[in-house]
Structure 1
Amino acid sequence: MDGITLGRASLWCTLLLWAFQVCSGAVTVKVSPKVEVLKGDTATLPCTHTVSSASSNTIVEWYIEEQGTRKRVAFRRQGGEGNSDDNTPLTGRVTIEENFTLTITSVKPSDELAFYCQVTAGPAGVGDGTTMLKVFFAPEKPELTKPSTQAISAGEPTSSEIGTCVTMNGHPQPRIIWFKDDKPLAEVKDRKEATYMIPSIVKEASGLFTVKSTLYMQPTKADKDSVFQCTVEYSMPEDQIKQTKSDTITINLNYPSEKATFSLLNTSPVKEGDTVNMKCETDGNPQPEFDFAKDGKVITGQGGLLTLKSVKRTDAGQYKCTATDFDNLDADLSGVIALAVHYIDPMSVTPVEPQIVKLEDKVEWQCKTKASDNHIVHWKKGSEVLSQDGTLSIEKVSYANAGEYMCVGGVPSVPGLTAQTSVNLTVKGKPMIENPTVGEVGKEGDMVTLKCSAFGFPIPQFEWTPSGKESILLGDNKAVSTMTVQATAEVMKNGVTCKAGNTLGTDSKTFLVSVKRAIENSAEGRAFSLLLLLFSLLLSGLFVVQTL
């Protein structure tokens, strides 16, 4: 009997359990488990349902959960109007559509909540689904600043502040990662470690997060050129992980000097007249005090720079720099430069005085100098090089040889190191008039200007026949007389005579005067002649055609 009773009880329990499942499963609600949206955008939360039996009294309600209690924000009856509830965090920003989708405008970080879509279908029962709304907002570019304290000293037993990284207005909470020389540093919060970070997080009234991290280290000398940077890592929709880098900083690190370097900054060989710069520096920071000496005698520099202006050959010698670093007095902090100053002496010419040589006689000069290195000497007249061995010799002097000659010396191994001097040659002889040019006038009776050029020394005197208004210009062993006269019939017939004379003789030349042939000599005349030729050829062609 007990067994029968027990069997019936089990059967009833099974039937009751089946009935409960049917009732609870009569309303099926389908929602998106997660909806992602950017702050300020519009979020759309869909909700669909099915009811096992027809119901005319179906109502769909959307709830949020606040402090463990559900609070309704919007509802809509089947076939009715959508309504939103007052005095909720979403009031004025939420609507429920005809298809029961919940729409939230101007989404805030505080809207990141669990949303429940509850469907009540009368006798068919109640069902619901949960959607988690995720709100995202990219933080600002991180700002990396150095501490306002003085420089950090290498080898200190305690950690020093390297910098502070701050990123603002992000959601969800972003993360700061530190980098040293482009390599990430492990996140350490234990202040007993040599390298650690002190983080802080502030949730602003807007619901956005401001994250700050301060880096502490015990830097060594090897960190003197290290570059530090921080990166903010944050989440965005569709499981994206993004990063934004800060600007970089370097640290002002103090460390003792171990060696000194003394270097000549001039890139070319030093020559007399140059400004010489020599720099002394150590591998420490800050730079210590420097002392300078030349051949054992103390001289004055400016910091680690020694400047010599307009140097002379006497400035050549051994220069020494000595640094004193009180953090490492045992180190040998000195350097030596053997400074060479190149020079070239003034050019020496023999004979030194200007030379007056008779026409067709011989003249010779010797030129030499001394220099700090192999040097060259050559003679020039204008741009023409006449000799490269220091001797200039002219066997038969002509008037064309008169003028100025330059003796130039140089040191090829030292750019710009040159010296030069000049001598003057005057050729003595009777006048020699250059070939005359024909004077031209527009018509008889016009004024004509003639130029008579004559070599010779002593300076020639000019006589024109017939005479006119005259001016004289003197040059190298040459005189030019310019005379203006009327082109009379006699002048047109016989020309004008120029006579030049000095104590050694005379010379004369006749200058012809003629009327310009305008058509032949002008551009218009040449064009007219060309047209006549073409016209003649055209007529010839027409004649040939007619004959054929």
Structure 2
Amino acid sequence: MALPDTAPLLVGLLLLFHAFGAWAIVEVTMEDKVEVMAGETAQITCMFTTDEGLGGTTIQWFYVPPNKERQRIYNKEPMHEAAEQNTLFTHRISLNVNGTAAVLAIRDVGVRDNLEFICVIKTLTPEEAEGRTQLQVFKSPTFPTIEAVETGISVNEEAPSKIGSCRVKNGYPKPNITWYRNNMPLRNTPREVVVTSSTTIESSGLFSVQSELTMKVKKEHKDAVFYCEVIYFVPGATKMTESQHINITVYYLPTEVNIWVESPKGKIKEGDTLELRCDNNGNYPSSITTIKHQNSEYSVENKTMVRTNVKRLDGGVYECTFEETDNFEEISGSTKVSVNYLESAVITPKDSIAVMEGEELKASCNALSSLQTSTTWFKNEKLVSKGNTLSVKSATLETAGMYKCVVTVPEMEGMKTSSTLQVNVKGSPQILGPDVQEVETYETTVNLTCSATGFPAPTIMWTTSDGKNLNALQTETEDGAQSVVTFKITSNVKVFCNASNDFGSKVVEFNIKTILNTTLTTITSMPTISTTTRSTTTISSDTVVHTTPTATTTTSTNTITDDTVQTPTKSPNIKKESKGFVIAIIIIAIFLLAILGSVLYFLYKKGRICGRSGKQDFSKRKSSKDNIVVEMKSDNTEEAILLGVNGEKQQPNDQ
């Protein structure tokens, strides 16, 4: 092989240089430090120069463990190179030589690689040189976590109180923690601010740092913002991370106590529900808040007081007291509550008043109130007057009645009271309606009503035109009296209603006219049969004719004239359906009579009646009147209508 052949040559050259006393010059240049983030690949460069050139140069790399001798990790000779076995870097390093630059690459560096590395350059002569570089590995810490104290802090504490703690983990080199309050850094100040820190080296070699802040709090710290800032290093720079912001609860004594009406908003009236609220500008936990009514000593240990259905006596001064139970210090505040009222309306004169007709009526209405009132007068829900006084210069019977006085408070909705006054006007009675009243009826019983106004309440008497007194039921009304009489009537009659009191009387006349329904009366007769002539039977409303059949052959025809049935005068007390029903019955009866006459005539022709064996002649004898009488009766219901046909009366010799 070529390499063994050149070995003697190199040895010979070395002896030659030694014999002549000529030594090669070797120089090494390296950086003081190389910075790299953990997990990355570090590259350490070794720059060297030599007079012999690269053919006979040996390159060796060493690292210096803490407190130990240096250890070689890589060796490169002219004929051979390799990483040393069983070192921290055996499987992670490689060497790249480019001219006079030897670059050692260390993969996946960690904080344990934060060591000093040595590059040694040797030539064929005994001359050698070395350089040193410090490898610095950086690891960014985790995001800082901050915790505030859960309990509040009293301003009365003499020693500084713990505010919170801040922690950051797994950084390299060791990170630094600084506390801030409202963007201002906090430094250790005796008896005011104390910052303590502790550092933990993890098994990985990384640093975890915890810092705790204690300080003496003041009232102005109740809204303060606290946070911690972590400063850590990266290759060629310094970085900062800020934690979340926290607040603390500061307990401090109040300097002012406020009490106010929460509801109702605006003015308060009797019957409302009153709610009072109390608060202070302190924030002390060991305390008692009491609301008290000074007028009644009514109190509650709460920040809220509720009183339902308040009265005017519930008004006055309400005081809220704050008591600190540790040192028994007190502070209080107060407010004045006004409860508006409206008493019941009072009318003078009370309940009722009586005045003579034509005299002046005067009444007044008042209601005691804490606010301005408005008064109105009503009669039958109609406004009749405004103001406290009701005045009528000349009273009439129409003036009488029930008056209502309504008092309201315009400023507050819902404040209203009222009272009533009965006004009576003394005078002779007046009867409602005309003096003469016409009454038409189909009924046999009639009800009459008579209403009279007047004061004193009039007495109502009923009499008829023939001097009879009628018993009636009388009731008093708001402005007089009313009487109802019920009696039977058989003919037209006049009835008088007489209303009287101490000041006179009044009479009203009722003219009652009876309208009777007409009913057809049954006439038991057979029609006269004649073979030669036909007779006409006329129905009148005022004649009843009884006839017997004759033995003549005369054919009798029943005729109903238009004036046979008299239609009665229509009364408003009778329904139209009653009259129509009667007419329908009459038409049906006539139709049945016609059928009966036809049947009898047919039987007569056939010889089935009157013992006829053949054709017989009958003499006709006409009665003085051949009429059918219709009689109608009025009895609240439609009665059956009976029809009868009368024949002519026969002479004795014809029978």
CA contact (8 A) 2:64 2:71 kept: yes
Structure 1: how far apart are the matches of 2:262 and 2:92? 72
Structure 2 counterpart of 1:339, from 328, 337, 340: 337
Match of 1:305 in 2: 304
* Contact 1:180 1:229 (8 Å CA) reproduced: yes
Distance in 2, Cα, partners of 1:62 & 1:137: 25
* Superposition deviation, residue 50 in structure 1: 2.2
- Tell me how far 1:271 sits from its aligned partner: 4.6
- Please name the residue that 2:75 is paired with: 75
Does residue 261 in structure 1 map to residue 263 in structure 2?
Answer: no
Assess, with a 3 A threshold, how the Cα gap between structure 1 residues 292 and 90 changes in structure 2: closer, same or farther: same
Which residue is 1:112 aligned to?
Answer: 114
Alignment match, 1:145: 147
Q: Distance in 1 between matches of 2:135 and 2:264?
A: 69
Contact 1:197-1:216 at 8 Å conserved across structures: yes
Equivalent residue for 2:208, pick from 187, 207, 210: 210
> After the TM superposition, which residues 395-410 of structure 1 pair with which residues of structure 2 at under 5 Å, given as runs?
none
Does the C-alpha gap of structure 1 residues 256 and 69 become closer, same or farther in structure 2, counting only changes over 3 Å? same
Partners of 2:410 and 2:114 lie apart in 1 by 84
Q: How does 1:262-301 map to 2 (within 5 A)?
A: 262-265=259-262, 268-269=265-266, 271=268, 273=272, 276-281=275-280, 283-286=282-285, 288-301=287-300
User: 2:198 pairs with 194, 197, 200, which one?
Assistant: 200
Distance 1:133 1:411, change over 3 A: farther
Question: What is the correspondence of 1:59-208 to structure 2 with a 5 Å cutoff?
Answer: 59-66=58-65, 67-78=67-78, 81=81, 83-99=82-98, 100-123=102-125, 125-147=127-149, 151-187=152-188, 193-208=191-206
What residue identity is the alignment partner of 1:72?
R
Distance 1:103-1:337 versus aligned 2 partners, 3 A rule: same
Letter in 1 for 2:132: T
The aligned runs of 1:508-527 (5 Å cut-off) are: none
Deviation of 1:170 after TM superposition, in Å, equals 1.0
Report the residue type matching 2:211 in the other structure: S
- The one-letter amino acid paired with 1:249 is N
Kindly provide the amino acid, as one letter, of the partner of residue 164 in structure 2.
Answer: G
SS in 1 for 2:229: strand
| Structure 1 counterpart of 2:241, one-letter code | Q
| Aligned CA distance change for structure 1 residues 321 and 419 (closer, same or farther; 3 Å) | closer
Higher-Rg structure is 2
* Structure 1 CA distance for aligned equivalents of residues 136 and 261 of structure 2: 66
> Partner amino acid for 1:50?
T
**Where in structure 1 are there 5+ consecutive unaligned residues?**
1-19, 349-367, 379-388, 391-406, 422-501, 504-548
- What's the Cα RMSD here? 4.4
The question of whether the paired residues in 2 share the 8 Å contact of 1:321 and 1:336 is answered with yes
Contact 2:42 2:106 in 1 (8 A): yes
Q: What is the deviation of 1:176?
A: 0.9
Q: Is the 8 A contact 1:58 1:121 kept in 2?
A: yes
Deviations 1:29-60 (A, max 9, x none): 23333222212222222333222232422222
CA distance in 2, matches of 1:65, 1:346: 108
> 1:202: Cα distance to partner?
0.7
Q: Unpaired segments of 5 or more residues in structure 2?
A: 1-20, 347-365, 377-385, 388-405, 418-571, 574-655
> CA shift at 1:278, angstroms?
1.0
Q: After superposing the two structures, state which structure 1 stretch, 153-162 or 229-238, moved more.
A: 153-162
What is the distance in 2 between the residues matched to 1:265 and 1:123? 103
> Partner of 2:41 in structure 1?
42
Q: Which residue of 2 aligns with 1:541?
A: none
Identify if the C-alpha distance between structure 1 residues 370 and 85 changes in structure 2 by more than 3 Å, giving closer, same or farther: farther
Whether contact under 8 Å (1:55, 1:124) holds in the other structure is no
Taking structure 1 as reference, are residues 325 and 55 closer, same or farther at Cα in structure 2, changes over 3 Å only?
closer
Check the 8 A contact 2:225/2:245 in 1, yes or no: no
Deviations 1:157-200 (A, max 9, x none): 43333322211111110111111232111146xxx644222221
SS in 2 for 1:97: strand
Asked if the contact 2:264/2:274 (under 8 Å) is kept, the reply is no
Counting aligned pairs with the same residue, the percent is 25
- Give 1:325 shift: 1.9
2:608 match: none
Offset of residue 142 of structure 1:
1.9
Please state whether the residue corresponding to 2:300 is helix, strand or coil. Answer: coil
Residues 124, 270 of structure 1: alpha-carbon distance in 2 compared, 3 angstrom cutoff: farther
Deviation, 1:115, is 1.7
Q: Distance in 1 between the 2:311 and 2:46 partners?
A: 96
Residues 70 and 260 of structure 1, relative CA distance in 2, 3 Å threshold: same
Per the alignment, residue 485 of structure 2 pairs with none
Q: Which residue identity does 1:75 align to in structure 2?
A: N
Equivalent pair of 1:347/1:420 in contact (CA under 8 Å): no
Instruction: Provide closer, same or farther for how the CA distance between residues 23 and 294 of structure 1 changes in structure 2, counting only shifts above 3 A.
Output: farther
Matches of 2:239 and 2:134, distance apart in 1: 19
1:211 Cα deviation after fit: 0.7
Query: Structure 1 204/57 Cα, relative in aligned 2: closer, same or farther at 3 Å?
Result: same
Matched with 1:441 is none
- Contact 2:52/2:123 (CA < 8 Å) preserved in 1? no
User: Residues 294 and 43 (structure 1 numbering): CA distance in 2 closer, same or farther, change over 3 Å?
Assistant: same
Compute the displacement of 1:217 (Å): 2.2
Q: Judging changes above 3 Å, is the alpha-carbon distance between structure 1 residues 279 and 237 closer, same or farther for their aligned structure 2 residues?
A: same
- Equivalent-residue separation in structure 2 for 1:267 and 1:236 (angstroms): 66
C-alpha change, 1:297 and 1:117, in structure 2 (3 Å) is farther
- Most deviating of 47-56 and 209-218: 47-56
**SS of match in other structure, 1:223:** helix
Cα offset, 1:419, TM superposition: 7.6
Q: What whole-Å deviation, never above 9, does each CA across 1:463-509 have from its counterpart, x for those lacking one?
A: xxxxxxxxxxxxxxxxxxxxxxxxxxxxxxxxxxxxxxx99xxxxxx
Tell me by how many angstroms 1:277 deviates: 3.9
Q: What's the counterpart of residue 530 of structure 1?
A: none
Q: Residues of 1 paired with 2:274 and 2:243: CA distance?
A: 47
- Matches for 1:342-357 after TM superposition, within 5 Å: none
The 1:243–1:293 alpha-carbon spacing in structure 2 relative to 1, beyond 3 Å, is same
Q: Distance in 1 between matches of 2:90 and 2:264?
A: 78
In the alignment, the residues of structure 1 paired with residue 276 and residue 320 of structure 2 have an alpha-carbon distance, to the nearest angstrom, of 13
- C-alpha separation between the residues in 2 aligned to 1:37 and 1:113? 12
Shift of 1:321: 1.0
Q: CA deviation at 1:136?
A: 1.5
Partner of 1:32: 31
Question: Are 2:261 and 2:274, in contact at CA under 8 Å, matched by a contact in 1?
Answer: no
CA contact (8 A) 2:187 2:195 kept: no
| Contact kept? 1:118, 1:127, Cα under 8 Å | yes
Q: Secondary structure at the match of 1:138?
A: coil
**CA–CA separation in structure 2 for the residues paired with 1:241 and 1:254:** 37
Change (3 A) 1:234 1:151: same
Query: For residue 548 of structure 2, what is the aligned residue in structure 1?
Result: none
Q: 2: CA distance between counterparts of 1:169 and 1:202?
A: 9
Checking the alignment, whether the CA contact within 8 Å between 2:259 and 2:276 is kept in structure 1 is no
Alignment correspondent of 1:233: 231
- Going from structure 1 to structure 2, the CA distance change for 1:28 and 1:335 (only over 3 Å counts) comes to same
The separation in 2 between residues aligned to 1:249 and 1:320, in whole angstroms, is: 33
Displacement after TM superposition at 1:73 (Å): 2.1
